[in-house]
Structures are given as C-alpha cells and as structure tokens.
Amino acid sequence: MDAATAGKTGVWSAEYWAQKRKVKLYAYRKRAGAPQKGEEPLPVLFLVHGSSMSGRSGFDLQVPGRADYSLMDHFARAGYDVWALDHEGYGRSDRTDSNSDIASGADDLAAVLPLLERETGQSRYFFYGGSSGALRAALFAQRHPERVARLILSALVYTGEGSPTLARRREKIDEYRRSNRRKIDRAFFHGMFTRDRPGTSEAIVADALADAELALYDTIPTGTYLDMCAHLPAVDPGEIRCPVLIIRGEYDGIAAEADLMRFFAELPSRDKQFVFVSGLAHNSTLGINRHKVWHAMQAFLAMPESRALAA
C-alpha cells in the first residue's frame, strides 16, 4: 500500500510469500502503521479462511460505498498485527493438483511460521478460523500447541451430525472424489449468503466477493468439502490445550448446536467460551450483524491472562 492510501485509512499493508516445499503461498498483512525498528511487537492475529473463498478476499473485503466490511482493517485499528493466507489452490497461492484438504491447510499454516516469526518477532499467535478454516486452525493448534496462544473457531463442524447442509453435500460426494476442483460462478457466491437464512447478509457483499474471487479463478479445491462430508471428525478437541472461543451464528446450517456442544465439552482448557450470535448464518463475519462477532472476538482476545492461585 502506498503512503497516501495508508494515511487515509490509518492501516498499512504488505504482501509476502511463504514456501511449502515447491508450493508458493500468498500471505497478506495489515496493521496500524508500518513496522518500526525497535518497536514493541504487536499481538498477532492470523485469520484462516474456509472452503469457498481466499484469505485476502474474505477477510479484507472491499465493498463499494462501504468501509466497514474488512475484518483485517477492524483488528488492525484495534492494535493487532493481522495476517491472512491464501491456502494452496486458492487466491494468489499456487494452484496444484492437490485438493487442498484440511490436513494440507494445517501444513500451509506451519509453512508460514518462519515468515511470521521473522516479520513479527513473535513465536506465539492468536488464530481465527471460519468453517473449514476453523478445522484447519484447530488441527494446527493440535499439532503445534506451542505456537497458539488463543484460538477462535467460528462456524465449526465436529462430527457433522445434525447438519442439513452437509447432508445435502453428501449427495455429491462421488463428484468431490472424482475431481480435485469444483466450478464456481456469481450465483455460487450469492448462494453462500442465502442458503441458511435469506436476509442475514446484504446482496452487495456477495457481489463484491464474487468480483474479488472470480478475477482470480473460476474453480476452487474440493478437499475440505470431501473431508467435511466423509472424514469427520478431523480434529480431537481433547488435544487442544489453549483457550478457545467457539462462535455459532443463529441460522448456521452446518454448525449444529448439539455437535458443537460436544466439541466444547471435550476441550480441556478452563478458559473456554461459547458464544451464540443472533441474526447471523454460516458466513458470520460478513453478515449484517457481523459487528457482534467482531466484538466477541475482540473481548476474548483481550481477556486478561489467569493469575496463579495461592497454594
């Protein structure tokens, strides 16, 4: 971002590349002002995208005539060093013959660690994941507990039991197995916001997201769809040791309430929260009531650390 633009928005941005073996992964960063030599490091918030959009488009969405849809801008202004990644096969990252499943996504996050540590000066981070991004982030936290300070899981699915959306997707499971990519178009993006409960989002948001994504590609990987239909559970909540916040939108057709409560009960940390948010569906960070989700996230991240009790 040039200096003039940064001055108007109050947010500085930069692009990076990480390497996962032969695969180049695109990373994007926003914070309030460019990093300065010798400054105190900012807390790092890493945003993990789901099955149907890339990181930059989903978390830094620019909606014409609106200035309140970028989750990255919001948290950058709140004092966080905010990062997003385009997983393998998505956005600006390399497109390969991989179906970019959940395990591959956790590998992507591990591949970004050297870049994060070099650029931020820190080794532990806050993670947010939405939908299959929640599974990617949770699996990463399971594999790399020393790297995750706090974890936010939105629109999560555990076993898939009780999910009407996943029941419908299972009808296409052979298609997901035959091809590592699936076709997308403008109608697909509108369907993302209307399938659970029409009216929980603005049509202009679906158009803005379609404009951003279709400028990059017209197919996306099938791996997370296949995993969520056939390979759940993908994460063991008993192995996630950090504080966890689970967020569920009122009308979410994937994240069944009873399924999530089982996941929540198995988390070992006593610093755990479950937040239900009314007036939102599966894509909660882009819904009409998204600011309620942002508030819950911010409150959780700012929660003081526990003090040791007297013996």
Pairing of strands 23-31, 81-86: antiparallel
Q: Residue 89: its pLDDT value, please?
A: 98
- Domain limits at 118? 3-301
Q: Quick check: is 310 in a domain?
A: no
Q: Residue 109: its pLDDT value, please?
A: 98
Q: Quick check: is 199 in a domain?
A: yes
Q: Quick check: is 226 in a domain?
A: yes
Digitized pLDDT (tens) for each residue of the chain, 311 residues in all: 333 344 446 899 999 999 999 999 999 999 999 999 989 999 999 999 999 999 999 999 999 999 999 999 999 999 999 999 999 999 999 999 999 999 999 999 999 999 999 999 999 999 999 999 999 999 999 999 999 999 999 999 999 999 999 999 999 999 999 999 999 999 999 999 999 999 999 999 999 999 999 999 999 999 999 999 999 999 999 999 999 999 999 999 999 999 999 999 999 999 999 999 999 999 999 999 999 999 999 999 999 998 889 88
Q: Quick check: is 307 in a domain?
A: no
Q: Residue 9: its pLDDT value, please?
A: 60
Q: Residue 311: its pLDDT value, please?
A: 80
Q: Residue 4: its pLDDT value, please?
A: 37
Q: Residue 310: its pLDDT value, please?
A: 87
Report the CATH number at residue 160.
3.40.50.1820
- Total structural domains in the chain? 1
Q: Quick check: is 10 in a domain?
A: yes
Instruction: State the Cα–Cα distance between residues 246 and 150, nearest whole angstrom.
Output: 11
Q: Quick check: is 87 in a domain?
A: yes
Q: Quick check: is 308 in a domain?
A: no
Q: Quick check: is 106 in a domain?
A: yes
